[in-house]
Amino acid sequence: MQKRLSCLYAGAKLTLTNEGVSDEDKAVAKFSKAMIAKIEQFKQKNYVLEQAIVKNIVYWFDKEEEKTYRVILPELTFRKERLNE
């Protein structure tokens, strides 16, 4: 997955999936259980997850493996659905 992340940049559009976000049909980030629960809360309030872009790219250092990993932080945009009245 790290090779896929090397081509991404802040502002790049991502594709939404049920589990996270992808770039060119390849997963680049997976939503945590807490984030999936948060998305469900928004859905119950009639919000729809509309788009995702790369907001920030950070580096995380794993002390045990002594490796640095690139991590993307996506910005998610929700849209309020109108209910038929």
Q: What is the pTM of this model?
A: 0.82
CA distance 34 to 41: 11
pLDDT tens series, the chain, 85 aa: 677 788 899 999 999 998 999 998 899 999 999 999 999 999 999 999 999 999 999 999 999 999 999 999 999 999 999 876 5
From the CB of residue 53, how many other CB atoms can be counted at a distance below 10 Å?
Answer: 16
